Amino acid sequence: MNSPWSLRDYVFAAFMTIGMVASIFLVGPFVPLPFLDLVMWAPFGGIFLTLGMARLQRRGSVALMILPLAVLLLPLSPLITLYLVLTPLATEAVVFFRGNYRSKANRLLGTVMFFVSGVLIGLGSIFIVPALVNTGEFIEEDLAKIIEKFAVLLNNPWLLGVLAVAAGITGSIGWWLGEKVVHQLQRAGKLDANA
Amino acid sequence: MPTPRQVRRSPLSRINPFLKIGLSFGLIGLSLFLRHIAPMLVLLGGVLLLMTQLKLRPLILGYILLMVCIFTGSTALLLQNWPEAIFSTLRLLAIVLPTPVLALTTPPADLIRSLQTVRLPSFLTLSLMLIWRFFPLMQQELQRIWEANQLRGIDLKWRPGKWFSGLMVPLVFQMVVYADEVTVGLQTRGYSPTEPRSNSKPLHWRWADTLFCGVAIAWLTLICYLEWGR
């Protein structure tokens, strides 16, 4: 089977994934409020995401970086895996109509889409829970615990929009920092991205 | 995540990785449905027995115990109900422990061999192997960069403004260097993601796997009996 990707691409994508996971561990202890994890992580995760897109450039770059992580986390949590599959697919679906990741604008769009869809899919899924209870998939005892935890969000659905916008903004900061690193790597002769 | 040298050769490390993954799924799934203390204790007892195969440092054990105590205490305070808090703690341990216990007793090479037998796309196998192998190394790099900054009198903990120039840029450069070196290493060994890989130690079903499978089924049956059979 002919693949558009080379060995170098696969290895680079894997290392960017490692960078994203490492930055989650770095930012984690400093998150001041619940639900803000993704917003706080976006500037750091965005650096590696932008770097991966700048180096790999083709459609499917985001999926190539995130899907192995989704498979790796499958034994730990099928829900996180589902979230990690849906988020890059949403991003790739949007960027598909724009071409590839050669231009800075598309990389910005890809980064913003990734984090915004991350918030909408991740936190938005809480609104599906009552529907699951109605169909009998979820028992009410568990629902009470979830509602208790996410009461703030369920009572204020507009917060989801605010968080999505915040993730988009911090994701843009991540893109901007990522482009700065891309520029530095190009000057050092370590990256051949057509920025 | 264990590196090849960190996985101690224990009886559990010789068991088929698929069996361990399956058991891990089974235990986590079962722990979500248990409502009585006796089956939960049997489940957790078995997991703790499996944990004896791991060589954990006393510091890590102490940290885990401290976290468990904090979780139980805070849950009891919130629920005003100690038995329910203890049951929640047991459930949490039953959900959290099986995967690391079984993953830490699986050498990465065995895991990759098993992934190859299910015919996952080769790029996925390669990516998983690289993430598994190099994530601890990158964490060490991060730690080194953090300490190098401290040596220069910059405590990054209190200066997030310096995280980009002082932490992320050196880390990215280090990662790009690693990625290049790993690519060259794989290329010089003739690795191709599109070609089928040969395997010097193919995965076989052994008598130890059968024994482990039998014991695991008996264990799961006992848990189910205690929960629903009486």
Residues B165 and B154 grouped into a single domain: yes
The list of chain B residues with pLDDT below 70 reads 1-9, 108, 116, 199, 230
Structural domain including B154 reads 122-192
Name every chain B residue with its beta carbon within 8 A of the beta carbon of A73.
none
Residues B20 and B113 grouped into a single domain: yes
Residues B133 and B112 grouped into a single domain: no
Each domain of chain A, given as residue ranges in start order, spans 7-187
CA distances from B228 to A104, B35, B199, B224 (A): 59, 10, 45, 6
Residues B82 and B173 grouped into a single domain: no
Residue B2 has what pLDDT? 47
- B120's CB contacts (< 8 A; 6+ apart) are A71
Residue A179 has what pLDDT? 92
Residues B187 and B213 grouped into a single domain: no
Work out the minimum CA distance from B42 to partner chain A, whole angstroms. Answer: 21
Residue A101 has what pLDDT? 85
In whole angstroms, what is the distance from residue B215 CA to residue B220 CA? 9
Residue B48 and residue B27 in contact, taking contact as beta carbons nearer than 8 Å: no
B138 falls within a domain:
yes
B24 falls within a domain:
yes
Over residues B19-31, the pLDDT tens digits come to 888 888 888 888 8
Residue B8 has what pLDDT? 54
Residue A195 has what pLDDT? 43
The values of phi and psi at residue A57, to 5°, are: 65, -30
Residues B54 and B110 grouped into a single domain: yes
* Range among A34-38, A75-79, B21-25, B75-79 with highest mean pLDDT value: B21-25
Residue A66 and residue A17 in contact, taking contact as beta carbons nearer than 8 Å: yes
- B182's CB contacts (< 8 A; 6+ apart) are A11, A15, B130, B134
Residues B159 and B226 grouped into a single domain: no
Residues B57 and B82 grouped into a single domain: yes
Residues B22 and B67 grouped into a single domain: yes
Of B123, B169, B183, the CB nearest to A184: B169
- Using a CB–CB cut-off of 8 Å, the residues of A that contact B are 1-3, 5, 7-8, 10-19, 21-23, 25-26, 30, 44, 47-48, 51, 64, 67-69, 71-72, 75-76, 177, 181, 184-185, 188, 190-191
Number of domains chain B contains: 2
Residues B18 and B110 grouped into a single domain: yes
User: Does the beta-carbon distance from B124 to A22 stay under 8 Å?
Assistant: no
Name every chain B residue with its beta carbon within 8 A of the beta carbon of A76.
99
Residues B113 and B129 grouped into a single domain: no
B3 falls within a domain:
no
Residue A149 has what pLDDT? 61
pTM: 0.72
Reference B104, options B213, B6, B25; nearest CA is B6
Instruction: Give A12 or B157, the one with higher predicted confidence.
Output: A12
Residue A148 has what pLDDT? 61
User: Does the beta-carbon distance from A13 to B132 stay under 8 Å?
Assistant: no
Residues B107 and B127 grouped into a single domain: no
**Around B175, how many Cα atoms within 13 Å sit in the side-chain half-sphere?**
34
ipTM over 0.90: no
Name every chain B residue with its beta carbon within 8 A of the beta carbon of A3.
123, 193-194
Counting Cβ atoms within 10 Å, is residue A148 exposed (0-12), middle (13-18) or buried (19+)? Answer: exposed
B151 falls within a domain:
yes
Instruction: Give A179 or B54, the one with higher predicted confidence.
Output: A179
CATH number of A7-187: 1.10.1760
Instruction: Give B184 or A124, the one with higher predicted confidence.
Output: B184
